[in-house]
Amino acid sequence: MRITYGKGLRVSTCHPDAVRLVPPQGTPFAWIQLRTGESSLALCRRALEAGLLLAPGETMGSDAGFRLGFDRDVDTVAEGLRRLDTVLLPDGPPGGDGPSGD
């Protein structure tokens, strides 16, 4: 998990205006705080279009973030983080509306 968490940390440091990674506390999940003003449900819908399943914060009582799981093999998590990286880009995934779109 240490290797995949490190990759997650890299995504958060590459997009400091968009997200902040809250370190996991003994679980295979991390909380990602959104800093864009976009709802987590909207971001998670865009992520799903990119083939990435995230748990929106609305399902856990917050619309300001989402849960990211690290309980997979390193290659699967690395691919998921690569997709998350494209979703967090200002224009979002190809065909997406970007951070301001719902």
Reduced 3-state DSSP string for 21-43: EECCCCCCEEEEEECCCCCHHHH
Tens of pLDDT, residue by residue over 3-45, are 455 656 666 777 888 888 887 788 888 888 998 888 999 999 9
Tens of pLDDT, residue by residue over 48-98, are 999 999 999 999 888 889 988 878 887 888 888 889 888 988 666 554 444
Q: Rounded to two decimals, what is the model's pTM?
A: 0.72
Tokens for 8, please give them: 């997650």
Task: Give the Cβ contact number of residue 52 at 10 Å.
Answer: 19
* CA–CA distance, 42 with 74 (Å, rounded to integer): 27
